[in-house]
Structure 1
């Protein structure tokens, strides 16, 4: 449960202690009013707060184990649908990589480029990279390594330069201005500080390098969908179930403020009938930012 779950109870309790207002008197007995029962009400509200908290603490290990198992199975199924729906969109979006010219002299002679992918997972984007590309794959977890290496073997035209296990906010193992393109699909939505991630992307990109990003966008603010997104995000439910995924962030605004020389973006909608999750995150954005 997110910290916002307890906010209403804390506010009511604080108001009860600090204000001098009196509630209307109801059926009184022995000259007592509802105001005389504030200590009892405060105690009851404390129970409302502490019982769920205690339950969470006592069963936290079980909840974490359940979440890991559920997340692995559910997201695995979701990724199959996601990749099928976005296949043609990704192919078109990443096609310009084939025309890119490397900032590295040796790679330029080979007519190759160096691509850094953040949140590479099992390598579902390998099929979209141009022949001869040199790849630096970054992920915060090594659990996908075996499947990633198996997938790399299916694309002998690509060269896996290295795998870096690091969070996107701190890619210190990647040299400054050393990559020609950065690719990220649904990564910023799961980070704690997207501005720090963007600063790292700018650092590792060579001059003129490009950042290719596909991320969900919040729904229109006056829509029911946005209200649902706000509730699911601020209650902590969606971030807990989906590895920190926050539904209400405006990533295009963050990218434009990060310091890129040019930013181009387009939006599109996922077919809501393909998966129930798409009903909540149907609006998506393709964005290309140039250093």
Structure 2
């Protein structure tokens, strides 16, 4: 068994050697930023076909969180190519954040295909530091299939809390009682395995008044591509909302 493991590890190292070399030369990150948007654009088409009904369910109640202005302000964190745009309600004001500037041209194409949205701007920034987004300026923050690859989950959640529109403490508690924490089948992916960790971080943040004095986070269904027939695991969603 030890010999088998050693051989498998050696095979993986040999296969991965070109990537390690490119990373050592400082080229791997550049290549990923250049080509990943093209890969994701193709993947998005297949993913949305598989998950269309789930996404429609997840985003079906977004209008409930419309702010006093009468328009829904939505921030998508890790927007990629705009895979979620078609599921947002008409008139939604969308601001996108992604650390990869090469997604912009794909976002422009996606916005052109989703004329029902009002595109505000594309911000090149990491989710851990969204200083370009004003505090209390968003009704909804959407983050799908992103938290598995960030450097600091808790810092991102703190930023989410900061940009969400404030509500009263009483309203926050009332809405939290309505939170949809669902026991649904989950996939054997790193994204799913992080769900419990992220949910604990969220609940920890919500329990500290000094961290989020007047924000509310609603937990909804997670979106997963493949699932097992049965599972009792609780999943945290990546849709964060604030309602007034």
Corresponding residue of 2:199: 252
Change in CA separation of 1:98 and 1:81 when aligned onto 2, cut-off 3 Å: same
Q: Which runs of 5 or more residues in structure 2 are unaligned?
A: 1-9, 207-214, 229-233
Corresponding residue of 1:264: 219
Corresponding residue of 1:133: 92
Q: TM-score, normalised by structure 2?
A: 0.65
Moved more, 252-261 or 116-125: 252-261
Q: Which of 43, 54, 75 is the aligned partner of 1:116?
A: 75
Instruction: State whether structure 2 residue 28 is matched by structure 1 residue 64.
Output: yes
Instruction: State whether structure 2 residue 202 is matched by structure 1 residue 286.
Output: no
Corresponding residue of 2:138: 179
Shift of residue 161, structure 1, vs aligned partner: 1.1
Q: Root-mean-square deviation (CA), in Å?
A: 4.1
SS in 2 for 1:182: strand
Moved more, 67-76 or 146-155: 67-76
> For the residues of structure 2 that align with 1:124 and 1:262, how far apart are their CA atoms?
22
Find runs of 4+ consecutive structure 1 residues off by over 6 angstroms: none
Corresponding residue of 2:65: 100
> For the residues of structure 2 that align with 1:269 and 1:58, how far apart are their CA atoms?
33
Corresponding residue of 2:231: none
For residues 57-112 of structure 1, what are the alpha-carbon distances to aligned partners after superposition, in whole Å with 9 as ceiling and x for unaligned?
75533982797388566555443332222211111111111233214xxx32xxx2
SS in 2 for 1:79: helix
Larger Rg: 1
For residues 92-137 of structure 1, what are the alpha-carbon distances to aligned partners after superposition, in whole Å with 9 as ceiling and x for unaligned?
111111233214xxx32xxx21110001111111111111111111
For residues 132-155 of structure 1, what are the alpha-carbon distances to aligned partners after superposition, in whole Å with 9 as ceiling and x for unaligned?
111111111111111111111122
Corresponding residue of 1:190: 149
SS in 1 for 2:139: strand
Corresponding residue of 1:156: 115
Change in CA separation of 1:246 and 1:199 when aligned onto 2, cut-off 3 Å: same
SS in 2 for 1:147: helix
> For the residues of structure 1 that align with 2:166 and 2:38, how far apart are their CA atoms?
41
Contact residue 263 and residue 287 of structure 1 kept, 8 A:
no
Q: Which runs of 5 or more residues in structure 1 are unaligned?
A: 1-47, 234-244, 274-282
> For the residues of structure 1 that align with 2:96 and 2:30, how far apart are their CA atoms?
29
Aligned residues: 201
Contact residue 268 and residue 284 of structure 1 kept, 8 A:
no
